[in-house]
């Protein structure tokens, strides 16, 4: 689900790992009746309910960066009886005693230390570091190069931008917050806050 550039990237990764990618779904009219990497766009997201009987599809991936959209679509897919497999790149390093939910995506160069928890629909881009005993709740996204410290809880739908540093010693990164690229977070982040800078400061709150 999602035929944009991130979907195209994950299509390449999945095919490299031996997954038979049957098609894309996307709501953008520009993708309709097209192929992406030789894979047909089968329609918009409303077609999801029909794919099992039409194309004998059993699994759905949704590498869409918008956290709420990704969680909503994967939740719907599970309700319709599809599997929502994890994709963990072979060049990611996942330590022992790491708990991982369903529909979790982890790209190359990422390191996850022991006793971390990744709940359902978490997405980690390339070269991310997640330290021990941290918890990433449902739908969290850590962008490329994010360094996420130890024993910190990122509440659902939190987004940490490229190269951001979330320092060990804080306790909570708030629900639906946005941490800007390159930010250094040294204090807890409230729900719905937009923070940026070194050290990170609250710029505004999402409506």
- Mean residue pLDDT of the chain comes to 96
CA distance 136 to 112: 11
pLDDT for residue 169 is more than 90: yes
pLDDT in tens, 97-107: 999 999 999 99
- Our count of domains for the chain comes to 2
Whether residues 189 and 91 fall in one domain: yes
pLDDT in tens, 48-95: 998 888 888 999 999 999 999 999 999 999 999 999 999 999 999 999
Whether residues 132 and 91 fall in one domain: yes
Whether residues 91 and 183 fall in one domain: yes
pLDDT in tens, 172-207: 999 999 999 999 999 999 999 999 999 999 999 998
At 45, give phi and psi (nearest 5°): -65, -20
CA nearest 162: which of 176, 141, 185, 181? 181
Q: What is the CATH number of the domain that holds 99?
A: 2.160.10.10
Q: Which two tokens stand for residue 12?
A: 């390449």
Residue 207 lies in a domain: no
- Are 174 and 168 in contact by the 8 Å Cβ rule? The answer is no
pLDDT at residue number 56: 85
Whether residues 115 and 193 fall in one domain: yes
Nearby residues of 150 by Cβ (< 8 Å), 6 or more positions away: 113, 131, 132, 133, 134, 168
Helices (H), the chain: 5-16, 51-55, 67-79
Quote the domain boundaries for residue 23: 5-79
At 5, give phi and psi (nearest 5°): -65, -35
Residue 12 lies in a domain: yes
Which residues is 40 bridged to in the sheet? 35
Residue 74 lies in a domain: yes
pLDDT at residue number 157: 98
pLDDT above 70 coverage of the chain, percent: 100
pLDDT at residue number 51: 87
Mean pLDDT of 32-56: 90
| pTM for this entry | 0.94
Residue 98 lies in a domain: yes
pLDDT at residue number 207: 81
Whether residues 70 and 95 fall in one domain: no
pLDDT at residue number 54: 87
pLDDT for residue 118 is more than 90: yes
Whether residues 115 and 60 fall in one domain: no
- CA Rg value for the chain: 17
């Amino acid at each position: 689900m999602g035929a944009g550039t991130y979907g195209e990237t994950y299509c390449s990764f999945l095919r490299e790992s031996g997954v038979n990618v049957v098609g894309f779904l996307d709501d953008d009219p520009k993708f309709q009746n097209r192929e992406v990497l030789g894979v047909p766009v089968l329609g918009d997201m409303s077609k999801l309910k029909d794919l099992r009987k039409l194309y004998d599809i059993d699994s759905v991936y949704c590498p869409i960066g918008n956290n709420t959209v990704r969680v909503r679509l994967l939740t719907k897919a599970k309700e319709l009886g599809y599997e929502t497999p994890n994709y963990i790149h072979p060049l990611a390093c996942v330590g022992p005693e790491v708990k991982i939910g369903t529909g979790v995506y982890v790209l190359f160069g990422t390191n996850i230390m022991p006793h971390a928890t990744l709940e359902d629909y978490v997405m980690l881009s390339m070269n991310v570091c997640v330290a021990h005993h941290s918890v990433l709740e449902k739908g969290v996204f850590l962008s490329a190069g994010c360094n996420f410290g130890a024993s910190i809880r990122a509440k659902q739908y939190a987004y940490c931008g490229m190269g951001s540093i979330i320092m060990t010693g804080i306790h909570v990164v708030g629900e639906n917050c946005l941490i800007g690229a390159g930010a250094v977070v040294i204090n807890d982040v409230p729900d719905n806050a937009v923070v940026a800078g070194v050290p990170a400061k609250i710029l505004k709150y999402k409506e």
